[in-house]
């Protein structure tokens, strides 16, 4: 009864201690605190341009696969078109993103970063990468492999598909 309440079952003496509720809670809090750090540096930069995190996400994924359609981007970002459109519009007006009419299907809009867009993207991703690089270096390659492995398992399957598309694709 003492640990039934926490959903734990010790089972036997095997090395399953990493699956205890307490270990899981630590993982959960690590995710929370780390995500804050993860976004902190780009957020500071974005503030100077009076943009938000949503702009960063759009810029990132346009950079990753230039010429992507709006619909594709919607799928990746998991927001409504109205939400994305507001962000895209400001980026287009400000001359950071270019929206070209599709050649085969002229209903589609293909998104590209302009030179100015590339510049901001670089500034943002450099900042974010620099923190990640330091973390990776300190933790070492085996830790990084585990990090990526666990993150991939945490994702929703559809997102894993998006993610793997990138992995294979590039």
Partner DNA sequence: CTTGGAAAGTCAACAAGGCTGACATAAACT
Partner DNA sequence: AGTTTATGTCAGCCTTGTTGACTTTCCAAG
Spatial separation of the C-alpha atoms in residues 67 and 15, rounded to whole Å: 48
**Is 86 a binder of DNA (CB under 7 A)?**
yes
The H or E element that residue 100 is part of is: strand 97-101
Residue window 22-51: x/- pattern of binding to DNA, with contact defined by CB under 7 A: ----------------------------xx
Spatial separation of the C-alpha atoms in residues 163 and 153, rounded to whole Å: 11
**Is 11 a binder of DNA (CB under 7 A)?**
no
* Segment interacting with DNA, rule: CB under 7 A, options 29-37, 96-104, 115-123, 131-139: 96-104
Largest Cα–Cα separation, the chain: 66
Considering only 87, 91, 96, 120, the residue that binds DNA (CB under 7 A) is: 87
Phi, psi torsion values for 67, nearest 5 degrees:
90, 0
**Is 169 a binder of a copy of itself (CB under 8 A)?**
no
Angstrom distances, CA of residue 110 to CA of 13, 39, 129, 145, 166: 57, 27, 27, 34, 18
Residue window 92-121: x/- pattern of binding to a copy of itself, with contact defined by CB under 8 A: ------------------------------
The conformation of residue 142, written as its DSSP 8-state character, comes to: H
**Is 132 a binder of DNA (CB under 7 A)?**
no
**Measured CA angle at 28 (ends 24, 30), to 5 deg:** 115
**Is 52 a binder of DNA (CB under 7 A)?**
yes
**Pairing state of beta strands 68-69 and 109-113?**
antiparallel
Which residues are near a copy of itself by CB under 8 A?
A: 7, 15, 18-19, 21-38, 40, 57, 60, 64, 78, 125-126, 128-129, 131-139, 141-156, 159-160, 162-163, 166-167, 170
Which residues are near DNA by CB under 7 A?
A: 50-55, 57, 69-71, 74, 78-89, 99, 101-102, 104-109
């Amino acid at each position: 009864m003492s640990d039934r309440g926490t959903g734990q079952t010790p089972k036997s003496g095997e090395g399953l201690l990493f699956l205890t509720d307490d270990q899981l809670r630590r993982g959960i809090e690590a995710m929370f605190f780390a995500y804050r750090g993860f976004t902190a540096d780009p957020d500071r930069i974005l503030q100077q341009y009076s943009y938000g995190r949503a702009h960063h996400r759009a810029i990132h994924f346009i950079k990753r696969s230039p010429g992507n359609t709006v619909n594709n981007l919607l799928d990746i970002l998991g927001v409504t078109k109205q939400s994305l459109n507001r962000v895209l519009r400001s980026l287009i007006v400000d001359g950071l993103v270019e929206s070209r009419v599709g050649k085969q299907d002229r209903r589609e809009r293909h998104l590209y970063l302009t030179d100015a867009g590339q510049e901001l993207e670089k500034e943002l991703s450099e900042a974010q990468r620099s923190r990640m690089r330091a973390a990776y270096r300190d933790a070492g390659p085996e830790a990084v492999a585990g990090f990526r492995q666990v993150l991939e398992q945490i994702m929703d399957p559809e997102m894993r598909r998006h993610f793997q598309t990138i992995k294979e694709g590039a």
